[in-house]
Amino acid sequence: WRRGGVDVTTVSISDFPLVQSAHGVNIEADIMFEQGDFTDADLLFLPGGMPGASNLFAHKGVCKAVVDQFAAGRKVAAICASPAVVLAPLGILEGKRATCYPGFEQALEGAKYTADLVTVDGNVTTGEGPAAAFPFAYELLAQLVDKKTSDQIAEGMRYAHLMSK
């Protein structure tokens, strides 16, 4: 998203700015959760994976920020396990179409499961899993900036070339 001109702030909910993914990838967050002001965010994005999605749901501040974001009509996005593990229990997906990582669809209570790579319903965007990362990111970039910019970034990253093979 930064490549498309979006001001992105990554956030750690742990005690350290260095966050390790389920597969050992280290990412240094820009800020700690307590330093953030999420009241005017254009988008709150929840990454997926386990136990990451469960950690997000266990964090009261994250849950409040997501509920407030949704209630204000601003964009909420989640991929992989997070639609089922975070958004559904918070009531965000009630009556909405959504997707998530296969095997988690039973937890999408109140939502209509689509099995699509990316599903947009109102101000909520959900992604299926790791293979959906690129189309998910381009969809959100189109929402935040515009489709032309998203398409240009996709072309520059050779995504269209990959998909034509």
d(CA 81, CA 95): 19
- Compute how many other C-beta atoms are within 10 angstroms of the C-beta atom of residue 24: 6
d(CA 56, CA 134): 22
pLDDT category at 164 given cuts 50, 70, 90 is: low
Comparing 27-36, 86-95, 156-165, the range with the smallest average pLDDT is 156-165
If you average pLDDT over residues 126-148, what whole number do you get? 96
Residue 162 reports pLDDT greater than 80 = no
d(CA 99, CA 125): 9
d(CA 118, CA 116): 5
Spatial neighbors of 115 by CB under 8 A, at least 6 apart, are 99, 102, 105, 128
Residue 120: which CATH number? 3.40.50.880
Number of domains making up the chain: 1
pLDDT in tens, 23-46: 889 999 999 999 999 999 999 999
Segments forming the whole domain that contains residue 44: 2-163
User: pTM to 2 decimals?
Assistant: 0.94
